[in-house]
Structure 1
Amino acid sequence: MIRMVDIEKVYETGKIRVEALKKINIEISDGEFVAIMGPSGSGKSTLMNILGCLDKATTGEYYLDDMQVSSLSENRLAQLRNRKIGFVFQTFNLIPRTSAFKNIELPMIYAGKKRGFMRERTLALLGKVGLSDRAGHMPSELSGGERQRVAIARALANEPSLILADEPTGNLDTKSGYEIMDIFSKLNEEGKTIVIVTHEMEIAQYCKRVLRFRDGMIVQDELIKRG
């Protein structure tokens, strides 16, 4: 599904030149569940932005489902994001004065789905994340764990093949964090490809593979052994 070839990302501000990513080569297959770990400033978020088509590499090639993303226009990138990628963020990024139902529905509105389909799909997604009784609640009326469940349901709205989650448990207590990871595990069992950035090894243990970053480079690529 994902192939990165010699990806580099350089930020230049005046005379200051920062190499955020250096010659990154990654392959992630359909159905993988991957954790990205590393200290602050190691390149994790830069990598996620490129994976999610929110930013472009300075050099190198990025292929998503055999499509060379590096050469696409901004409009094509926006279409690709809405169709193929679901995003989950540490800060939830829900619209504050909009109900859980409407937050989940929003990506489908942008995709031009029919109203009947959107209602049916939104109700199904609320059920999937255990929030059928919270459809009309505003984000301020939900706990952190519930808000992240809404964010996951929203990420699934257009049936993306890839889920990208940046520190999805970072603002949650331990119990809620584990519950969120249980949802991701079930989604992976259903065939979703999931890539998660995390600082916590307890969270990474839910995944099947860990990529460790340091100073813009991959320093370790290991499979998680079970039991």
Structure 2
Amino acid sequence: MIELIDVVKEYEVGKERFRALKNISLKIKAGEFTSIMGPSGSGKSTLMNILGLLDRATIGSYYLDGRDVSKLSDKERAFIRNREIGFVFQAFNLIPRMTVLDNVMLPMVYARIPGKMRREKALEALAKVGLLHRIKHYPNEISGGEKQRVAIARAIVNTPKVILADEPTGNLDSKSSEEIMKIFQKLNDEGVTIVVVTHEPDIAQHTKRIIRFRDGQIISDEPVVNRIVL
């Protein structure tokens, strides 16, 4: 599903060039549930931005589902991002003036899916995260855990091939965090490929594989031992 080959990412900092990723090569197969860990500044968020087609590698290749997406135009990348990648962020990124239902339907507006189908698919996604009773509420009327469940429903509504979650439990209490990881586990059981960035070891234990970063490099890549299954 995902393959990076010798990926380097550099930024200009003043007159210096800072290398955030150093010759990263990795493969994530379809249906895997992987967590990426590392201290601040280790390169994990830079990696997620490249995987999500929000940024480009300076050097190297990125294959998504067998296609080299590193050389595509911005328009082509935006199309793939909307149709094939679901995003879940720490800050939820919901639109305050829109209801829960409208927030979930938004990706389908960009995908030009007809109105009736948008509502049906949004309701189906909200049912998966247990929030059908909140469809008319606004983000400021629901809890943090519920906001993240709305964000997950929005991420899965276009049936993406991969979900990228950047610190999805960072703003949540332990009970809400477990609810979110339980939903991710269920989605993964249904065949969705999921990649989670987290700094919390107990959250990583809910996944099946942990890739650890330090100073822009992979320092370990191992299956999870004693996995927590909810």
TM-score over 0.5 (shorter chain): yes
Matches within 5 A, 1:71-220: 71-220=71-220
Q: What is the aligned partner in structure 2 of residue 7 from structure 1?
A: 7
**Alignment partners' CA distance in 1, 2:194 and 2:33:** 5
Q: Number of matched residues?
A: 227
Q: Percent identity?
A: 61
Q: Deviations over 1:76-120 (max 9, x none)?
A: 000000010000000000001110000000000110111111111
Q: What value does the CA root-mean-square deviation take over the aligned residues?
A: 0.7
Q: Deviations over 1:116-148 (max 9, x none)?
A: 111111111111101110000000001000000
**Alignment partners' CA distance in 2, 1:12 and 1:56:** 14
Instruction: Compute the TM-score of the two structures, normalised by the length of structure 1.
Output: 0.99
Task: Report the residue type matching 1:55 in the other structure.
Answer: D
Which structure 2 residue ranges, 5 or more long, are not aligned? none
**Alignment partners' CA distance in 2, 1:144 and 1:19:** 35
Task: Report the residue type matching 2:185 in the other structure.
Answer: S
**Alignment partners' CA distance in 1, 2:124 and 2:6:** 41
Instruction: Compute the TM-score of the two structures, normalised by the length of structure 2.
Output: 0.97
Structure 1 position 14, deviation (Å): 3.0
Task: Report the residue type matching 1:181 in the other structure.
Answer: M
Which ranges of 4 or more aligned residues in structure 1 deviate by more than 3 Å? Answer: none
**Alignment partners' CA distance in 1, 2:149 and 2:204:** 19
**Alignment partners' CA distance in 2, 1:118 and 1:216:** 40
SS state of the match for residue 17, structure 2?
strand
**Alignment partners' CA distance in 2, 1:171 and 1:133:** 23
SS state of the match for residue 78, structure 1?
helix
Task: Report the residue type matching 2:101 in the other structure.
Answer: F
Q: Are residue 225 (structure 1) and residue 208 (structure 2) matched? A: no
**Alignment partners' CA distance in 2, 1:117 and 1:97:** 22
**Alignment partners' CA distance in 1, 2:30 and 2:170:** 26
Structure 1 position 13, deviation (Å): 2.9
